[in-house]
Each structure stands twice: as C-alpha cells, then as structure tokens.
Amino acid sequence: LIAFLAGSSTELPALRDFCYYATIGITFCFMFQCTFLVAIAYFDSVRQEHGKADCLCCVSVDDETGVCVKTEGWTEGQRGFQNRVVGTYMPRLVLGTVVGKVVVILISCSLFGLGIYGCTQVKMN
C-alpha cells in the first residue's frame, strides 16, 4: 500500500494513475476481508455446528462419516470422471513418465520465452 502511494508521486501519468487505482483497490480489498470475510466465516462455523453440508447447506451430513453421500464400497469405476482424471490419470501421466515431465518442462519454457518476447516488444510512446 505504501509502495503504491509512493509510486503515485511519479511524473509518468500512466504509472501515477495505476498507483492510484492499485492503492484504492488494495484498500477496498483489505476492508472487504476485514468485514465480509469475517461474517462469512461466522456463518460457515454456524453451518458446521448444525451438521450441514458444504455446498448443499440444507442437507444434513452423517455424524459418523461426515459426508452426505455414501462412499464406502465404491470401486475405481464408480468415482466421477473429474475425480478419476485429476486423482488417477494426470499424476500417472505427468509424474510417472519421462514424456509427461518433458512436456511440462517444454510448456513452462515456452511460456517463459513468450513472456520474455512480449516484454521486449513493449514500446513506449
């Protein structure tokens, strides 16, 4: 916050305006977190005390398992598609094979290279 306030004293109009907007944005974000987030955390703790589910707060959860859906006895094929992809297939592909690791490194390096190229193309009027 102080850095953006100090930056607002610059001679460059675009940078000065950015610092003004950043200072205002950070201030409002801080105020938002001090007020709204605390209220939401309180309501969430009330929801947990009443034994309600996260997304469907009108549904009570089972006291023993802490879930509102029976999950015991599920096999790998009965899990959801997204859960299977993120929990099973992607770790095996990315972390378990050399090809997956090389692809991740190539994507990361190409994004880094494109970022550097974009920085070199910035022109100041």
pTM flag (> 0.75): no
Under-70 pLDDT residues of the chain: 53-80
Question: How much is the pLDDT for 115?
Answer: 95
Instruction: Say what the pLDDT of residue 108 is.
Output: 95
Residue-level length of the chain: 125
Render pLDDT for 64-97 as a digit per residue (tens, 0 to 9).
555 555 555 555 555 567 777 777 788 888 888 8
User: Which pLDDT does position 117 carry in this prediction?
Assistant: 95
Which positions ≥6 away from 57 have C-beta within 8 Å? 47
CA terminus-to-terminus distance, the chain: 28
Q: Could you give the CA distance from residue 15 to residue 5 in angstroms, rounded to a whole number? A: 11
Residue recorded with tokens 């770790």: 91
In this structure, are residues 59 and 68 in contact, taking their beta carbons and an 8 Å threshold?
Answer: yes
